[in-house]
């Protein structure tokens, strides 16, 4: 088993690779389609994946305050990614 320091580095590199691939793929997709269509498709598929994962793990439903904060963060992130895709 790798040390916790090495494991942190591996997780960071994997995360950077995933974000890089996602940004690159999103930029390519927006050459063919509107950036809001690409964003909607990606967001919807991610939402479905996380809901299924939460159901499988038996996670409790978040509180109303947590849901409001999460929605605000999601909207802010979506606007930022849409602006990135428009710029690409």
The number of CA neighbours under 13 Å toward the Cβ of 10 is 7
Contact 85, 27 (CB under 8 A): yes
For residues 60 and 8, give the distance between their C-alpha atoms in angstroms, rounded to a whole number: 28
The arithmetic mean of pLDDT across residues 61-83, rounded, is 90
pLDDT in tens, 25-65: 887 888 888 878 888 888 888 889 888 998 999 989 889 99
pTM of the predicted model as reported, rounded to 2 decimal places: 0.59
Distance CA 59, CA 35 (A): 32
Sequence spans of domains, the chain: 4-87
Distance (Å, whole) CA 25 – CA 10: 22
The total of other beta-carbon atoms located within 10 Å of residue 33's CB is 13
């Amino acid at each position: 088993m790798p040390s916790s320091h090495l494991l942190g580095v591996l997780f960071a590199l994997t995360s950077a690779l995933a974000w890089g691939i996602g940004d690159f793929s999103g930029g390519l997709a927006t050459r063919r389609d509107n950036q809001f269509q690409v964003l909607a498709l990606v967001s919807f598929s991610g939402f479905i994946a996380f809901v299924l994962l939460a159901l499988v793990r038996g996670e409790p439903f978040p509180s109303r305050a947590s849901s409001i904060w999460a929605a605000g963060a999601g909207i802010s992130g979506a606007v930022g990614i849409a602006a990135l895709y428009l710029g690409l």
